[in-house]
Chains A and B, each alone.
Chain A
Amino acid sequence: MTLLDVLVPFPVVLPLAVGAIVLALGERLPKHAPEALGIAAALAVAGLSAVLSRGALDAGTPVYWFGGWEPRPGVTLGIAFAPDPASAGIAAFIGLLFAAALVFAWGFFDEVRSTFNVLMLLFLAAMQGFCLTRDLFNLFVWFEVMSVAAYALTGFSLKRASLAGALNFTVVNSLGSMLMLAGIGLVYARAGALDFEAVREAVGRAGHDPVIVGGFCLVSVALLTKAAILPFQFWLADAHAVAPSPVSVIFSGSMVPIGLFGFAKIAVQVFPGSPDAGSILHGLLFGVGCATAVVGGLLAWSQRHLKRLLAFSTIGHIGIMLTGVAALSPVGLAGALAYLVGHGLVKGTLFMLVGVLLAEKAGVDELNLRGLGRDIWPAGVLTGLAALLLGGAPLGLLHGGADLVSAAAPDGLAGWAMHLSVLVGTALTGGAVLRFAGRVYLGLGPDPGDEAEAPTDEEQEKADRPLWLMLAPCILLLGIDVLVPADLAEHMAARVLPQFAHLAAGSVAVPPPTGWTAVEPWLALLGAVAVAGVALFRDRVPRILPAAGGMFKPVVAGLNRLHTGVINDYVVWMALGVAMFAAWATF
């Protein structure tokens, strides 16, 4: 056993141990010790996972059997962690995001400081386990631990709105977890094992088996609920809007995307041998991904509550990642992985920047905050930069991912539908954020006058935190996204993919740039600037443009009305989504 093998469980063990120590010592620790310990643990986890990723890339994926329960011929009873370079890389990124969020949260909670930090450490440990495991039931357990920590963190402030959002979040996601357990049961009924490798062999032997397909659908529904794919997305905006800002950073930057990551993982590591699963992925989910990208973009564009705006934009971007996964090409999958990291860096930053507004200006409503951000202009500069990156600026990690996803588009009509929905989703979300940056920090746009009555509660987060301390993690995350060149990101993604997707080493090549891939980011960026410009300079642009935007108003208003905030409705939508899967699998 090499040193690398011994390190495998530590990204999970370390935060759990630190969390336990902080909880046990509680109030006896000095004032800022729980926060400092949390940041140190998150950084250590990021380092450990990065070492694992690097090691796996050089020496092959290590497999760590807990308690030495290695498989014997025909019988796999043990539970293993297998940190392939891609999974461990994502895990390292999550550790970094947690460290940034915890730095941002420094001084956020005075009274209950250790509880918050313990929950965050539990959340971190669960995500690490979720990324590194290669056992279906173990995946479920980490998924549940992650969920429970997330539910508690959402309702943390115990205010009216946060409790309502947390209740919706908990009920929808618990139902998803139950479906996942049932699905794992179905898979176990056929495969007689839970280990990814053993199940993959059994799935390959089974061919067209309704029980296996049922299991795949149920597990997929649970993971796609976490990933907020249509029509399972209703909980997301409610939860993101009411959670404390540092928690929203983690939700949008890592929890929701790794729902999709988990889905991609089981699709390529467990079910590649099932033709029916392939048909669901390539047919149904490809379309659903396109629809999610467009609907998320439209909803983001129509919000004035800044956290809801960002929440809906996350839905749109996850839709884009899903199209990359569902394109069923290694390049698309590599693109989705790079996109996940780039999006997490940018969206995490944006949630922190909205957190700055909540702390400094006690508001989260775009119209009410008009022009109030002038004195914290550095936050405005960062918001503008993040908006351009989100809107497709051909620069950095996020662009690298978008480029690969775009290169994976299939030929013909489906490919153009994908290009169009990715363009619309990117331009609308980037434009919405750019509009908010212009309005809040530059005071652009018409004076809302008496219409300014905000539909939100009075909200404020802990003030009197130093501005530089809140902006430092934003600069770090954005800096990483901008400074990693797009082509380096593309080559890294192509290099880590073979071990993730069980392909021959070096078999994934970055496709050469085509005319379309060179034009697409500029088109998206132009769209984003146009969307923001029409909203902010309504009186000065040709009248036809606002009128064209107004055509979508009824559609968007209808979409918004569906987000009723009532759990009864959300569960009906979820049942319809399950029925959609069942119908596709049957016919």
Chain B
Amino acid sequence: MSVLPWVVAAWLFGVGVYGIATSRNYIHLIGCLSVCQSATYVLLLGIGYDWGAGPPIFYDHPPGTPAVDPIVQALVLTDIVVGATVSALLLAMALQVHKREGTLDPQEIKPLKGQ
């Protein structure tokens, strides 16, 4: 496996965290969180990848044909489901905050008055 997926994953995670740390809008911030999440998917798929191997489907291939690792793909699929739940929940909460406060700026949405 080449070093490229590792670099891409680290880069994606880095820009995602930078985005979250500097964001002034919660919808934008949730987008940045999804970028971080994509970094883990790139890393996992990179780990399971094999040059020259086919997809892990043996319907029309004899067993034993080289294939990429299906386990990491299953992990990624599972996490996409979880990630969608978290994003939906975050967006719903951001909408509710906007209804009550009229703002989406994280610096104005604080749990304690005067914090």
Tell whether A pairs with B.
yes
Assembled-state Cα–Cα distance A167/B113 (Å): 16
A566-578 interface bits toward B, Cβ cutoff 8 Å, 1 = contact, 0 = none: 1110011001000
Given A164-B97, A568-B21, residue A182 in contact with residue B40 (CB < 8 A): yes
Q: Return the CB mask of A303-314 against B: 1 if under 8 Å, else 0.
A: 001001000000
Q: Are B113 and A457 in contact (CB under 8 A)?
A: yes
A84 interface residue, CB < 8 Å from B? no
Tell me whether B20 and A455 are in contact (CB under 8 A). no
**Could you say which of A173-181, A258-266, A278-286, A488-496 contacts chain B?**
A173-181
B33 lies within 8 A of A456 (CB) = no
Contact B93 A167 (CB under 8 A): yes
Select one of A152, A162, A167, A455 contacting B114, CB under 8 A: A455
Complexed CA–CA distance, A144 and B79 (Å)? 9
Residues of A within 8 A of B67 (CB): none
Most buried by B among A147, A175, A564: A175
Main secondary structure of the interface of A (DSSP, over half): helix
**Interface hits, B84-99 → A, CB 8 Å:** 85-86, 89-90, 93-94, 96-97
Which B residue's beta carbon lies closest to that of A575? Answer: B17
Least CB separation from B82: chain A residue: A144
Closest CB of chain A to B56's CB: distance in Å? 13
Q: Do the beta carbons of A181 and B75 come within 8 Å of each other?
A: yes
Is B36 at the interface (CB under 8 A from chain A)?
Answer: yes
In the assembled complex, A565 has its CB within 8 A of some CB on chain B: yes
B residues near A86, Cβ cutoff 8 Å:
none
**Tier of interface size on chain B:** 35 or more
Asked if A171 contacts B33 (CB within 8 A), the reply is yes
Residues of B within 8 A of A163 (CB): 93, 96-97, 100, 109
A305–B113 Cα gap in the complex (Å)? 11
List of B residues within 8 angstroms of A151 by Cβ: 86, 89
Contact B43 A182 (CB under 8 A): yes
Give the residue name and chain of the A residue nearest to B20 (CB): A571
Q: State in angstroms the CA–CA spacing of A567 and B97 once bound together.
A: 14
Question: Is the CB of A160 closer than 8 A to any CB of chain B?
Answer: yes
A170 pairs with B40, CB closer than 8 A:
no
B29 partner residues in chain A, CB cutoff 8 A: 171, 567
Take A567-B29, A575-B21 as given contacts and tell me if A167 and B97 are in contact as well, using a CB distance cutoff of 8 Å: yes
Q: Please determine whether A166 and B93 come into contact, CB atoms closer than 8 angstroms.
A: yes
- Would you list which residues of chain A between 133 and 188 have a CB under 8 Å from chain B? 137, 141, 144-145, 147-148, 151-152, 155, 158-168, 170-171, 174-175, 177-178, 181-182, 184-186, 188
How far, in angstroms, from A472 to B109 measured CA to CA in the complex?
37
Task: Give Cα A572–Cα B109 distance, bound, in whole angstroms.
Answer: 17
Closest to B10 in A: A182
CA distance A457 to B101 in the complex (A): 14
Given contacts A151-B89, A171-B29, A572-B21, contact A181 B79 (CB under 8 A): yes
User: Is the Cβ of A185 less than 8 Å from the Cβ of B72?
Assistant: yes
A168 lies within 8 A of B111 (CB): yes
Decide if A242 is an interface residue (CB 8 Å cutoff): yes
B4 surroundings in chain A (CB, below 8 A)? none
Q: Is the CB of A571 within 8 A of B17?
A: yes
Which B38-81 residues sit within 8 Å CB-CB of chain A?
39-40, 43-44, 47, 71-72, 75, 78-79
- Complex alpha-carbon distance, A170 and B91, angstroms: 11
Query: Within 8 Å of chain B (Cβ to Cβ): is A531?
Result: no
B86 nearest CB neighbor, chain A only: A174
Give bound CA distance, A171 to B93, whole Å. Answer: 12
CB-CB < 8 A to B101: which residues of A? 160
Q: Are B86 and A148 in contact (CB under 8 A)?
A: yes
- The answer to whether A188 and B17 touch (CB under 8 A), given A161-B111, A567-B106, is no
B6 CB, nearest partner CB in chain A, Å: 10
Q: How far apart are the CA atoms of A571 and B106 in the complex, in Å? A: 12
Whether B111 lies near A568 (C-beta < 8 A) is: no
A572 to B101, CA, bound (A): 25
How long is the Cα–Cα vector from A161 to B109 in the complex, in angstroms?
Answer: 8
Known: A165-B111, A238-B111, A566-B110. A185 touches B40 (CB 8 A): yes
A529 interface residue per 8 A CB criterion: no
Q: Which residues of A contact B72 (CB under 8 A)?
A: 185, 188
**Out of A152, A155, A171, A242, which one reaches B20, CB within 8 Å?**
A171
Partner of A565, one of B71, B75, B115: B115
Which residues from chain B contact A170 at a C-beta distance below 8 Å? 86, 89-90, 93
Residues in B with CB closer than 8 Å to A152 are 89
Determine if A563 and B115 form an interchain contact, defined as CB atoms under 8 angstroms apart: yes
Distance A457 CA – B40 CA, assembled complex (angstroms):
39
Q: Nearest B residue to A152 by beta-carbon distance?
A: B89
Q: For A162, what are the chain B residues with a Cβ–Cβ distance below 8 Å?
A: 111
Q: Which of A144, A238, A455, A457 has the most CB of B within 10 A?
A: A144
With known contacts A188-B71, A567-B20, A160–B106 Cβ distance under 8 A: no
Interchain CB contact under 8 A, A564 and B115:
yes
Task: Flag whether A580 is at the interface (Cβ < 8 A).
Answer: no
B102–chain A nearest beta-carbon distance, Å:
11
- Residue A221 CB within 8 A of the other chain: no
Contact A565 B110 (CB under 8 A): yes
B89 CB to nearest A CB, Å: 6
Q: What residues on A are CB-neighbors of B2 within 8 Å?
A: none
Of B20, B36, B47, the most chain A CB neighbours within 10 A belong to B20
A442 to B114, alpha carbons, bound, how many Å?
29
Q: Does A202 contact B (CB under 8 A)?
A: no
Which residues of A sit under 8 angstroms from B109, Cβ to Cβ?
A: 163-164, 167
CA of A186 to CA of B101 in the docked complex: distance in angstroms? 42
Closest beta carbon of chain A to B108's beta carbon, Å: 9
Given contacts A163-B93, A175-B33, contact A455 B112 (CB under 8 A): yes
Pick the 9 closest A-B CB pairs, nearest first.
Answer: A565-B110, A565-B115, A165-B111, A238-B111, A164-B111, A189-B47, A185-B44, A182-B40, A144-B82
Question: 10 interchain pairs (CB within 8 A)?
Answer: A137-B75, A147-B86, A151-B89, A160-B101, A178-B37, A178-B40, A182-B40, A185-B40, A566-B106, A568-B21
Which positions in A face B, CB cutoff 8 Å? Answer: 137, 141, 144-145, 147-148, 151-152, 155, 158-168, 170-171, 174-175, 177-178, 181-182, 184-186, 188-189, 194, 238, 241-242, 305, 308, 455-457, 563-568, 571-572, 575
Q: With A170-B90, A185-B40 given, name 9 new contacts (CB 8 A).
A: A167-B106, A175-B20, A175-B33, A184-B75, A185-B44, A188-B47, A241-B112, A571-B20, A575-B21
